[in-house]
Amino acid sequence: MMEWIAEPQAWIALATLTTLEVVLGIDNIIFISILVSRLPDQQRHKARIMGLSLAMGMRIALLLSLAWVMRLTTPLFSLLGEEISGRDIILIGGGLFLLAKSTLEIHNSLEGAEEHSQGLQVASFGAILAQIAILDIVFSLDSVITAIGMVSQIPVMVIAIVIAVLIMMVASKSIGEFVDAHPTVKMLALSFLVLIGVTLIAEGFDLHIPKGYIYFSMAFSVTVEMLNLRLRKKARAPVKLHKPL
């Protein structure tokens, strides 16, 4: 089982897959950060760690049940001329859930601070974790299928997932606080989740959208927003007046 340690190709695959898992996990971090923002401050970091731990557990569990994952691609029925498999049902359901949740969060953000504060009182720790778990299944499925297509050794896949999730755990707090502190960044993140939801639904109906286009558009939008934040910060900086000589 450990023969892969002596194979250079396995180490290259481990580094590549770990990087890919981190990239694929960015949307997960954003979703978790937005969800936990509805919890009291003292519970947010705990919810982030538990949410990412759920994601890691889901991915490893799916890896250890490769036969079941592969059967998910078997067509179950036809809809609108397209064959629908178990994987497609999960992707479509997850995409619809993500669209509904993102739209609700955008509505709450635009309705004002009073309604948002009421939402904070309603949200419970258990309910937030349940919502995280639902989307973890969708994000994990996509990640695991990608891993299976890249690497043949299960230990390499498991190690890559563990390393990637540990990296995301370290980064999740700072990302979450940054999103909470900047309303425009939060709105941009919610827009990304809408985009991801539409992509999941399209994938469920076998309409393949190249991931490169999606990641490029997201990276471009983030770059523009970072420039806007820097300009706003510069505009708010106090102007130093020189005393007359």
Tens digit of each residue's pLDDT (9 = 90 or more) over 1-24: 555 566 666 677 777 777 777 776
At position 232, the amino acid (one-letter code) is R
For residue 119, what pLDDT is reported?
45
pLDDT digits (tens, 9 = 90+) for 93-103: 878 887 887 88
- With 60 as the cut, is the pLDDT of residue 193 above it? yes
Q: Provide mean pLDDT across the span 166-182.
A: 80
Q: Are 101 and 107 in contact (CB under 8 A)?
A: no
Spell out the residues 6+ positions from residue 63 whose beta carbon is closer than 8 angstroms to its own: 144, 147, 148, 154, 157, 158, 161
Kindly report whether the global pTM for this prediction surpasses the value 0.85. Answer: no
Average pLDDT, the chain: 75
For residue 167, what pLDDT is reported?
85
pLDDT band (50, 70, 90) for residue 120: very low
For residue 6, what pLDDT is reported?
62
- With 80 as the cut, is the pLDDT of residue 202 above it? yes
For residue 240, what pLDDT is reported?
59
- With 60 as the cut, is the pLDDT of residue 165 above it? yes
What tokens were used for 77?
A: 């029925």
- With 50 as the cut, is the pLDDT of residue 113 above it? no
Share of the chain above pLDDT 90, in %: 0
Query: Which letter, b or e, does each residue of 47-63 get, where b requires 16 or more Cβ atoms within 10 Å of its Cβ?
Result: bbebbbebbbebbbebb
At position 39, the amino acid (one-letter code) is L
Q: Are 169 and 22 in contact (CB under 8 A)?
A: no
pLDDT band (50, 70, 90) for residue 74: confident
- With 60 as the cut, is the pLDDT of residue 164 above it? yes
3-state SS string for the chain? CCHHHHCHHHHHHHHHHHHHHHHHHHHHHHHHHHHHCCCCHHHHHHHHHHHHHHHHHHHHHHHCCHHHHHHCCCEEEEECCEEEEHHHHHHHHHHHHHHHHHHHHHHHHHHCHHHHHHHHHHCCHHHHHHHHHHHHHHHHHHHHHHHHHHCCCHHHHHHHHHHHHHHHHHHHHHHHHHHHHCHHHHHHHHHHHHHHHHHHHHHHCCCCCCHHHHHHHHHHHHHHHHHHHHHHHHHHCCCCCCCCC
Identify the top-confidence range among 114-128, 148-162, 168-182.
168-182
Q: Provide mean pLDDT across the span 31-55.
A: 81
Q: Provide mean pLDDT across the span 28-50.
A: 81
pLDDT band (50, 70, 90) for residue 121: very low
**Structural domain spans, the chain:** 3-235
What tokens were used for 150?
A: 């890249």
What tokens were used for 19?
A: 């990087």
Q: Are 136 and 28 in contact (CB under 8 A)?
A: yes
For residue 238, what pLDDT is reported?
65
For residue 106, what pLDDT is reported?
80
What tokens were used for 70?
A: 């592969």
Between 60 and 146, the more confident residue is 60
